Structure 1
Amino acid sequence: MGCLFCEIVEGVRDAHVVLDVPEAVAFLDTRPLFKGHTLLVPRVHYETLTDLPVEEVGPFFGYAQRLAGAMEEVLGAAGSFVAMNNRVSQSVPHLHVHVVPRNWKDGLRGFFWPRQKYDSGTEAAEYAARLAAAFG
């Protein structure tokens, strides 16, 4: 059984891509907490943060930082939630960072998270294009 995120990185599986650079790929989560919820993955398959070579940590999180800024700048969010799991609660065993747009009183409390759906593939593509525009 292959890795779902590796298939997205390789272009074998469709995704709404936000960022595609030599080191990393970012794409919309298919089960977003809020519209614009993006997953950032290293292009090379590493299962957890501890597997990521130390020299790659800074550049990788630089993209997470830029995505967090795009949530506010492009989507008009009041802030963002940036998180990752390592093994426990890690739905896909490929290192990934969740970058989620946040607004006051958006309903996200503790770890009981509401999930939203895009109205259509077109709406998801529009969100991906708006976020991708923040990277020029």
Structure 2
Amino acid sequence: MATIFTKIINREIPATIVYENDKVLAFKDINPAAPIHILVVPKKEIPTINDIKPEDKELIGEMYLAIGEIARELGIDKEGYRVITNCNEYGGQEVFHLHFHLLGGKRLGALLTD
């Protein structure tokens, strides 16, 4: 069964897309945790960070290049931003399609509170 991210990639579900190339798609999170909260996803379905294969090295690099470009375009590259990847239940992963959260637009607090 396709994830919600695959449905967004296939344009079956609408999203506010901020970046796209042949390997990567980035769109605004519908429940932002910061003034700027972008999800960066590979167009290839990879369930978790544990499922990245050696042949995915270039794709992961493409994702980080996209993050840098998006940060520059949104004007958060100088003051800073955070990139987070969750993995599995204890890591807080909710959608099992690899994705990076790009957060910025304000000073971000500590990652853990307990």
TM-score normalised by length of structure 1: 0.68
Instruction: Say whether the 8 Å CA contact 1:17–1:28 is kept in structure 2.
Output: yes
Distance in structure 2 (CA, Å) of the matches to 1:16 and 1:64: 20
1:58 aligns to what? 58
Shift in CA distance, 30/55, structure 1 to aligned 2, threshold 3 Å: same
In the alignment, structure 1 residue 29 sits paired with structure 2 residue 29: yes
Aligned residues: 109
Unmatched tracts of structure 2, length 5 or more: none
Aligned equivalents of 1:2, 1:62: Cα separation in 2: 23
Shift of 1:62: 3.0
CA deviations on 1:84-120 (whole Å, 9 max, x unpaired) are 01112101111111111254xx3522235xxxxxxxx
| Structure 1 residue runs of 4 or more that deviate by more than 4 Å after TM superposition | none
Residues 116-136 of structure 1: CA distance to partner in whole angstroms, max 9, x if unpaired?
xxxxxxxxxxxxxxxxxxxxx
Matched-pair identity in %: 25
- With over 3 angstroms needed to count, the CA separation of the structure-2 counterparts of 1:107 and 1:95, relative to structure 1, is closer
- The one-character-per-residue Cα deviations of 1:27-83 (angstroms, maximum 9, x if unpaired) are 111111222211111112110123233222333333324423532x33332111011
**Equivalent position of 1:99 in the other structure:** 102
**Superposition pairs of residues 63-78 of structure 1, within 5 angstroms:** 63-71=63-71, 73-77=72-76, 78=79
**AA in 1 matched with 2:18:** V
TM-score normalised according to structure 2 size: 0.79
**Rounded Cα–Cα distance in structure 2 between residues aligned with 1:69 and 1:48:** 24
Distance 1:111 1:69, change over 3 A: farther
Aligned-CA RMSD value: 2.1
Stretch of structure 1 that moved more, 7-16 or 32-41: 32-41
